[in-house]
Each structure stands twice: as C-alpha cells, then as structure tokens.
Amino acid sequence: MAEQRKRRSDRNHIIYLLTSPSGLTYVGITVMQGRAKMESMDRRWAAHCRNALEYGKDYRLSQCIREEGRENFRRQVIEVVRGKAEAHSREITISKQMQTPLNMVGMVF
C-alpha cells in the first residue's frame, strides 16, 4: 500500500532570517522539502531574487536585494515549525519582536 502524502497544513515549515549588508532584516517561512533545511530555504531565496531581479517587484525586500546585491545577504534558519498555521503565527510573532524593517509593509506592530 502506498504511503499517503501529508496534508500541506501538517508539513514542517522553516522560519528563516535574511540580513542585508546594511543590517536590514526580513523574516519569512517556507515549506521544508524532506529533511534539507538549507536547500528548502535556498529555493525560497531564489524566488525572492527572481522577484527582485527578473520581475522587478516593488517589495521592500526586492528593492533591498537590487540595491545591496543578492550575494551580500546572510541567510539563516531560525526554527522549524510543524503546521502551516503555527508557522505563520510564529513568523508574525518573530517579525514583531525583531521589528524587521523589510517585513513591515502591511504588518501591524
């Protein structure tokens, strides 16, 4: 019998921190693929870079990537959280605690 795929809401999610050379920060989440935390985060980072460099998005993070260079950002995993709702809740909590300037659009602090 084939193993049933996990419901998307029950997967592990990575909460990560991006830090620009000037010290601006961004907290984000992504679904963890298998057990490879860094590979999952690298895929999400590549999407942020595409938004900035190929699609010309006007997000604060995209502007910062264009201004400070994608190769200059520090990327780190903060924690792994089980479940989509819990991950989103932790992302908001951490962003508020750290007052991450690249997340602040649309967030209530």
User: For 41-70, what is each residue's pLDDT tens digit?
Assistant: 999 999 999 999 999 999 999 999 999 999
Residue 106 in domain: no
Nearest partner of 18 among 70, 63, 85, 81, judged by Cα: 70
Using the predicted structure, report yes or no on whether residue 83 has a pLDDT greater than 90.
yes
In this predicted structure, the answer to whether residue 72 has a pLDDT above a threshold of 70 is yes
pLDDT band at 75 (very low <50, low <70, confident <90, very high): very high
Is 107 inside any structural domain?
Answer: no
Q: What is the CATH number for 94? A: 3.40.1440
| Residue span of the structural domain in which 89 resides | 11-98
The answer to whether residue 106 scores a pLDDT higher than 60 is no
**Structural domain count, the chain:** 1
Rounded to the nearest integer, the mean pLDDT of the chain is 89
Task: Classify residue 19: in a domain, yes or no.
Answer: yes
Q: pTM of the entire structure?
A: 0.85
In a domain, 63, yes or no: yes
Judge contact between 31 and 8, C-beta under 8 A.
yes
Is 20 within the bounds of a domain?
A: yes
Give a yes or no: residue 52 inside a domain: yes
Residue 2, pLDDT > 90, answer no
Does residue 2 form part of some domain?
no
